[in-house]
Structure 1
Amino acid sequence: MNNAFLEQIHYFRVPVNNLEQSIQWYTEILGLQLRFNQDNLAVLALKSGPLYVLVEADHDSRGHFTVKGNPEFSVGFVTSRIREFHTYLTTRDVQVESMQEDQGHNFFYFYDPSGNKLQVHN
């Protein structure tokens, strides 16, 4: 018997400290498109994939978790221009970690204004 009722992921919810600041950062720095903004919630979108929902949350809330005390990312993005993107984020004063390589794939971590750890890979 197949119990695969779920078909796709519709959206991810990410806590942020300041909704308006975060909307500006995600749209201007990352290029996501604002679809909806009301009360303490904003819906953003990329060209494809699940929606990215920002929720104004308690100040100490984060969208990542820790393993042995170290933050681990929950959201991973994809780009075909990873080195250019790394430079772009660095020149915009985004907290960016160094480029890493794993089995032919490049990736790095970066943080949004609320301190959420994010990853991008090619």
Structure 2
Amino acid sequence: MMPQAFLSGIDHVQLPVTDLEESIHWYGEIFGFQVIGHYGESAMLSVHKGPNLMLWQTKNYSPVRFNKDGELKPVLFFSSGDIDNLVKHLKEKSVAIASFDDGGFAKFLKFYDLNGNLIGVMQLAGKR
């Protein structure tokens, strides 16, 4: 017997930031995120599809990521239909790229946002 479906999806993901206005500008300039709500110390951003992104300015900042067998892993992964050009775009914007790998079934990109949060992007093979 299947449990009742109380959840309908993921609404938003939250990231800590050191400077909210600078981070809003960065996510807008780099990825095209638009502010859909500004709440003083936090802001909700939206991009084409998927869950929204909530940025929280915090004095007790620590970047979002975890360690698995000595490898840093991103907590957040975006999807892309043009990951190769995204890599070029990030390099042009001097974004710190941690890795870019072709896993066969998908390409995986890991980079650091301006706050040191490790972010991932993936593109499934054959998806554009």
Q: TM-score, normalised by structure 1?
A: 0.91
Counterpart CA distance in 2 for 1:36 and 1:101 is 36
- Percent identical pairs in the alignment equals 30
Matched residue, 2:126: none
1:87 aligns with 2:78: no
Runs of 4+ with deviation above 6 angstroms: none
- CA distances 1:20-51 after superposition (whole Å, capped 9, x unpaired): 11001000111111111121101000111111
- CA distances 1:50-102 after superposition (whole Å, capped 9, x unpaired): 11000012353222222345421011111111111101101111001332011
Query: Structure 1 residues 59, 91: CA separation in 2 closer, same or farther (over 3 Å shift)?
Result: farther
* Structure 2 alignment gaps of length 5 or more: 124-128
Q: Report SS of the residue matched to 1:98.
A: strand
Residue 73 of structure 2 aligns with an amino acid whose one-letter code is: E
Matched residue, 1:47: 48
Q: Report SS of the residue matched to 2:61.
A: coil
Matched residue, 2:116: 115
Matches within 5 A, 1:89-108: 89-108=90-109
Counterpart CA distance in 1 for 2:9 and 2:99 is 32
Considering only aligned residues, what root-mean-square deviation do their CA atoms show, in Å? 1.5
Counterpart CA distance in 2 for 1:27 and 1:116 is 16
Q: Report SS of the residue matched to 1:47.
A: coil
Equivalent pair of 2:99/2:111 in contact (CA under 8 Å): no
* Structure 1 alignment gaps of length 5 or more: none
* Alignment coverage as a number of residue pairs: 122
Counterpart CA distance in 2 for 1:98 and 1:63 is 17
Q: TM-score, normalised by structure 2?
A: 0.87
